[in-house]
Amino acid sequence: MDIVTTQAKHYEKPELTPERKALYDRLDAKHVAPLWEVLSKIIPASPTPETIPALWRYEELRPLLMEAGRLLTAKEAERRVIMLENPAVRGQSKITQSLYSGLQMILPGEIAVCHRHAASALRFVIEGTAAYTAVEGERTTMHPGDFILTPSWSYHDHGNPGNDPVVWLDGLDIPLVNMFDSSFFERHPEERQPNVIPEGDALARYGANMMPVDYAPSGHSSPIFNYPYSQSRDTLDRLYRFGPVSPCHGVKMRYINPATGGYPMPTIGAFIQLLPKGFRGLTHRATDATVFSVVEGSGRTKVGDQMFSWGPRDLFVVPSWYPVAHEADVESVLFSFSDRPAQQALGLWREEAPVRA
Ligand code: 1HN
């Protein structure tokens, strides 16, 4: 399907005469400026993202991450992460305009010390089965494909008591928090927070289509903090068999806060989708720039004019409003996250699915 690239008509700038230019210089000296000179730039007719589509191959990143593991400890680094930087905005520690992402590695025997910050975080486990993350007193073991939350201002630490490195994808709303100048950070007095809640408590209490009768939310995020891949994979499998399959998204599910049906965190939403073998998806687009992590399978995604071929553990980013179409050679699973909840809360989110030819 073809992509609509026609731009709506926009306001045209008035002519720049010598007298006008002289006025603009006098305005400039007083730290004021004429709106009409910049209006179409600051209010584009449709999104004009500065970030660009990009793909990272896990097999290229993994050796570099392992070398970082030889050169510094998790404790020295606070968090041993190689950041996925959008190629168009290098040095800004962002993958999209609003989100930060990176690959974090923790070696056998290491811990990542306990701290908390205003930024909300998610983890999507890529490799290794033995690490745990602890959030507000409860630990959870991290398995590949698990989607794990660290809500804003919750104490968290990680550890790897196993024999192999563990790698996960981090997604944080750091650029968004910094846009509001609302960042806070503090260390816990201990390296590890006390383990006061039995493992599995949150999932048992909130993850079985029931809520404690006297449940009262303690914050803005989901009371579940590990959404295990075993459950999400099984759901995708059954829904594929039951149908229907979306022509754009395959079988696509949104992770929820079970107390509200809304997103797990106020600023970052996450999704998991199955693309059937031989799937040829229709082109669609939305205003939430999205980071994808390939869990299983192989295929291709067309983003704008670019075609990204992907396999397990590869990562790619689709900026806002870029047309996207997925294809799968074999049955494939993609995890993704974006700032969709923030945009929806502010009444800004739009989608076009499928994009009109
Ligand atoms: C952080 O706390 C983690 O807890 C990961 O694993 C990445 C990036 C910036 C600031 C804090 C983590 C982070 C981070």
Residue 8 pLDDT level (bands cut at 50, 70, 90): low
Is the minimum distance from the CB of 284 to ligand 1 under 6 angstroms? Answer: no
CA distance 221 to 228: 17
User: Considering the domain boundaries, does residue 216 fall inside one?
Assistant: no
In the chain, what percentage of residues exceed pLDDT 70? 97
Q: Which of 78, 81, 132 to mutate to test the pocket of ligand 1 (most atoms within 8 A of CB)?
A: 81
Same domain, 141 and 260: no
Is the shortest distance between the CB of 156 and ligand 1 below 6 Å?
yes
Query: How far away, in angstroms, is 116 Cα from ligand 1 center?
Result: 9
Q: Which domain holds residue 36?
A: 3-42
Q: Are 161 and 130 spatial neighbours (Cβ–Cβ below 8 Å)?
A: yes
C-alpha R_g of the chain:
22
Judge if 177 and 239 occupy the same domain: no
Share of the chain above pLDDT 90, in %: 95
Q: Rounded distance, CA 157 to CA 30, Å?
A: 49
Question: Ligand 1 centroid vs 121 CA: distance in angstroms?
Answer: 7
Q: Binning pLDDT at 50, 70 and 90, where does residue 1 land? A: very low
**Tokens at 322, concatenated:** 């870029």
In this structure, are 91 and 147 located in the same domain?
yes
- In this structure, are 64 and 172 located in the same domain? yes
Q: Are residues 25 and 103 in the same domain?
A: no
Strand partners, 300: 309, 327
Q: Which two tokens stand for residue 144?
A: 């590949």
Q: Does 89 reside within a domain? A: yes
- The structure's pTM equals 0.96
**Number of structural domains, the chain?**
3
> From the CB of 301, is ligand 1 less than 6 Å away?
no
Please indicate, yes or no, if residue 317 is contained in any of the structural domains.
yes
Question: Are both 59 and 192 inside the same structural domain?
Answer: yes
* Residue 91 covered by a domain: yes
For atom 13 of ligand 1, which residue has the closest CA? 79
Q: How many Cα neighbours within 13 Å face the side chain of 82? A: 15
Parallel, antiparallel, or unpaired for β 81-83 and 324-328?
Answer: unpaired
pLDDT tens digits along 18-72: 999 999 999 999 999 999 999 999 999 999 999 999 999 999 999 999 999 999 9
128 — phi, psi (to 5°)? Answer: 95, 150
Residue 268 belongs to a domain with what CATH number? 2.60.120.10
Mutate to test the pocket of ligand 1, among 82, 152, 170 (most ligand atoms within 8 A of CB): 170
What mean pLDDT is predicted for residues 310-314?
A: 98
Q: What are phi and psi of 5, to 5 degrees?
A: -120, 0
Mark whether 312 and 341 lie in a shared domain: yes
Among 94, 47, 87, CA closest to 285: 47
Residue 167 domain-assigned?
yes
pLDDT tens digits along 78-114: 999 999 999 999 999 999 999 999 999 999 999 999 9
